Amino acid sequence: MSIATIESLDHEGRGVTHVGGKTVFIEGGLPGERVEYEVQRSRPNYEQATAVRILRSSAQRVEPRCAHFGVCGGCSMQHLDPLAQAAAKQRILEDALWHIGKLRPAIIYPAVNGPAWGYRYRARLGVRLVPSKGGLRIGFHERRSSYIVDMRECPVLPAGISALLPRLREMIAGLSIADRLPQVEIAIGDDTTVFVFRNLQPFSRADEKRIAAFAAAEGIQAWMQPGGPDTAIPFDPSAERALHYTLPEFDVRMDFRPTDFTQVNVHINRLLIRRAMQLLAPRAGERIADLFCGLGNFSLPIARLGARVIGVEGSDALVARALDNARRNGLDSLTEFHAANLFEATEDSLAALGPLDKMLIDPPREGAIAVAKALGGEHSPARIVYVSCNPATLARDAAVLVREKGYVLRGAGIANMFPQTSHVESVALFERG
**Is residue 416 part of an annotated ligand binding site?**
no
Domain end marker among 241, 256, 280: 241
The DSSP code sequence of 326-393 is HHHTT-GGGEEEEE--GGG--HHHHHTT---SEEEE---TT--HHHHHH--STTS-SEEEEEES-HHH
Please say if the pLDDT value at position 238 is more than 90. no
Mean pLDDT of the chain: 96
**Do 249 and 232 share a domain, yes or no?**
no
CB atoms closer than 10 angstroms to residue 342:
19
> pLDDT at residue 1 above 90?
no
pLDDT in tens, 302-346: 999 999 999 999 999 999 999 999 999 999 999 999 999 999 999
Q: Please write the tens of the pLDDT for every residue from 272-288.
A: 999 999 999 999 999 99
| Euclidean distance between CA atoms 174 and 209, whole angstroms | 12
Residue 88 resides in a domain:
no
Let me know: does 167 contact 241? Beta carbons within 8 Å.
no
User: Is the C-alpha dihedral spanning 92, 98, 103, 107 positive or negative?
Assistant: positive
Whether residue 86 is contained in a domain is answered as: no
- Full domain range(s) for residue 16: 1-61
pLDDT-derived band of residue 18, with 50, 70 and 90 as boundaries? very high
Distance CA 401, CA 210 (A): 55
| Same domain flag for 292 and 409 | yes
Does 389 participate in catalysis according to the annotation? yes
User: 278 with 410, same domain?
Assistant: yes
pLDDT in tens, 34-93: 999 999 999 999 999 999 999 999 999 999 999 999 999 999 999 999 999 999 999 999
- The reply, when asked if residue 225 is annotated as ligand binding, is no
* Same domain (yes/no): 350, 407: yes
Domain boundary among 39, 61, 83: 61
pLDDT at 241 exceeding the cut of 90: no
The tally of domains found in the chain comes to 3
Q: Are residues 298 and 274 in the same domain?
A: yes
Average of pLDDT values for 351-365? Answer: 96
In this structure, are 287 and 413 located in the same domain? Answer: yes
Is the pTM here over 0.85, yes or no? yes
- What is the structure's pLDDT at 213? 97
Section 98-108 average pLDDT: 97
* DSSP state letter for 182: -
Instruction: Exactly one of 389, 394, 424, 427 is catalytic; name it.
Output: 389
Considering the domain boundaries, does residue 71 fall inside one?
Answer: no
| In a shared domain, residues 266 and 314 | yes
Dihedral sign from CA coordinates of 26, 29, 33, 34:
negative
Assign residue 211 the CATH number of its domain: 2.40.50.1070
Residue 341 known to bind ligand:
yes
Q: Are residues 361 and 252 in the same domain?
A: yes
**Half-sphere exposure (CA, 13 Å, Cβ side) for 248?**
3
Q: Is 154 annotated as a binding residue?
A: yes
DSSP 8-class letter at 31: T
Within-domain flag for 73? no
| 142-157 confidence digits (pLDDT tens) | 988 889 999 999 999 9
* pLDDT category of residue 354 using cuts at 50, 70 and 90: very high
Q: 248 with 381, same domain?
A: yes
In whole angstroms, give the CA distance from residue 139 to residue 152: 8
Tell me, yes or no, whether 312 lies in a domain. Answer: yes
Contact 275, 425 (CB under 8 A): no
Amino acid residing at 321: R
Question: Per-residue confidence at 410, pLDDT binned at 50, 70, 90?
Answer: very high
Q: Are 316 and 361 part of one and the same domain?
A: yes
Whether 171 and 262 map to the same domain: the answer is no
Under 8 Å between Cβ of 146 and 92: no
Residue 132: the pLDDT is 79
Residue 214 annotated as lining a ligand binding site: no
Both 104 and 22 in a single domain?
no
Would you state the pLDDT for residue 321? 96
Q: Residue 82: inside a domain, yes or no? A: no
Q: Is residue 76 part of a domain?
A: no
Judge whether 386 and 413 are in contact, CB under 8 Å. no
Which CATH number goes with the domain that contains 251?
A: 3.40.50.150
Task: Tell me the C-alpha distance between 270 and 342, whole Å.
Answer: 25
Q: What is the mean predicted confidence (pLDDT) over 395-416?
A: 97
Cα angle 208, 210, 214 (rounded to 5 degrees) comes to 115
Has residue 48 been placed in a domain? yes
CATH number at residue 43: 2.40.50.140
Q: Is 113 labelled a binding residue?
A: no
118-122 mean pLDDT: 97
